[in-house]
């Protein structure tokens, strides 16, 4: 990023800075295929990018970062690709645990866990516990996440609370408290890489009033500089939230 951008963002000169950025990290497969390489090579490069973007966030004034790593629909891919992705997640957690803790990152996961390998689930719970006291950056990784699945699971939890007599007349706040993202602020900005202009089941409830940025850059090519430029543009947007 330019020294100007970094300085301005650090100094808090913007009227509005996105506190919570969510990213649909798309285009790993095409990045690899364009080079004649297996798709998994693109996923590995993509994981490297995550590390770099995570390190850049605090300097850019981003306090919450949520990334879409694997959707409930991604199980449709070949066994080789799915298993390869699961291995990448596992390695990411194993290798990054110490570094993330030291960087002041609090790592959390959203999505249904029961379909994941028990060993991976165990690692996820461990690192969540280990980083629970951190607050410099709240990093949330969506694995086996789908907004519709999350809402269905939340509705079931809410129904249980009603059946137990804990809530009489459930409203929006009660449903929100049953989402995987309970307690997280809503994303201010959702970025999707790779040129696709769809949301693919990512945070449908939480991003109801988010601003969207679609960039043609493929995820393995997305640098902190790209992020800084998008954040600059965000500062120029007028958000009305239904007002005038
Ligand atoms: C995003 O990249 C990563 C996942 C969905 C797991 P893709 O794998 O979707 O890459 P493209 O869209 O096929 O290029
Ligand atoms: C969305 O990308 C999911 C992730 C980035 C993890 P996809 O590549 O799966 O989405 P579609 O199929 O293009 O909608
Ligand atoms: Mg894709």
Domains and CATH numbers, the chain: 18-216+224-234 (3.40.1180.10)
What are the helix (H) ranges across 138-180? 147-163, 172-176
Residue whose token pair is 């290798």: 95
Cβ of residue 201 lying under 6 Å from some atom of ligand 1: no
Query: What is the percent of the chain with per-residue pLDDT over 90, rounded to a whole number?
Result: 91
Could you tell me where the beta strands, DSSP code E, fall in the chain? 20-24, 64-71, 105-110, 137-145, 189-192, 211-214
The partner residues of 68 in beta bridges, in order of sequence, read: 24, 142
- The values of phi and psi at residue 189, to 5°, are -140, 130
Q: If you take atom 2 of ligand 2, which residue's CA is the nearest one? A: 26
Considering the entire predicted model, what is its pTM? 0.94
Query: Is 235 annotated among the ligand-binding residues?
Result: no
If one residue of 24, 26, 221 were mutated to test the ligand 1 pocket, choosing by the most ligand atoms within 8 A of its CB, it would be 26
Query: Is 75 annotated among the ligand-binding residues?
Result: yes
Which atom number of ligand 1 is nearest to the Cα of residue 30? 14
pLDDT band with cut points at 50, 70 and 90 for residue 9: very low
Q: If you take atom 1 of ligand 2, which residue's CA is the nearest one? A: 200
What is the per-residue burial (b if ≥16 Cβ within 10 Å, else e) of 83-119?
ebbbebbbebbeebbeebbebebbbbbbbbeeebeee
User: Is residue 63 annotated as a catalytic residue, yes or no?
Assistant: no
pLDDT tens, position by position, 185-217: 999 999 999 999 999 999 999 999 999 999 999
pLDDT tens, position by position, 13-33: 445 889 999 999 999 999 999
Query: What is the percent of the chain with per-residue pLDDT over 70, rounded to a whole number?
Result: 94
User: Is residue 186 annotated as a catalytic residue, yes or no?
Assistant: no
């Amino acid at each position: 990023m330019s020294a100007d951008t970094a300085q301005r963002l650090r100094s808090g000169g913007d009227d509005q800075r996105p506190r919570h950025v969510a990213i649909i990290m798309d285009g790993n497969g095409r990045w690899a295929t364009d080079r004649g390489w297996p798709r998994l090579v693109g996923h590995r490069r993509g994981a490297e990018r995550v590390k770099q973007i995570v390190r850049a966030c605090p300097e850019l004034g981003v306090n919450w970062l949520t990334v879409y790593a694997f959707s409930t629909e991604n199980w449709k891919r070949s066994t080789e690709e799915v298993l390869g992705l699961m291995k990448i997640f596992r390695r990411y957690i194993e290798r990054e645990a110490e570094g993330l803790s030291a960087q002041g990152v609090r790592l959390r996961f959203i999505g249904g866990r029961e379909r994941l390998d028990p060993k991976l689930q165990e690692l996820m719970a461990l690192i969540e516990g280990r980083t629970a006291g951190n607050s410099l950056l709240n990093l949330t990784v969506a694995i086996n996440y789908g907004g519709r699945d999350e809402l269905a699971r939340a509705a079931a939890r809410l129904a249980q609370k009603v059946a137990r007599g804990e809530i009489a007349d459930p409203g929006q706040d009660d449903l929100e408290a049953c989402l995987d993202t309970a307690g997280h602020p809503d994303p201010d900005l959702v970025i999707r890489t790779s040129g696709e202009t769809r949301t693919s089941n990512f945070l449908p409830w939480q991003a109801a009033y988010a601003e969207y940025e679609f960039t043609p850059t493929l995820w393995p090519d997305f640098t902190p500089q790209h992020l800084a430029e998008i954040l600059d543009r965000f500062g120029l947007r007028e958000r009305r939230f239904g007002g005038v």
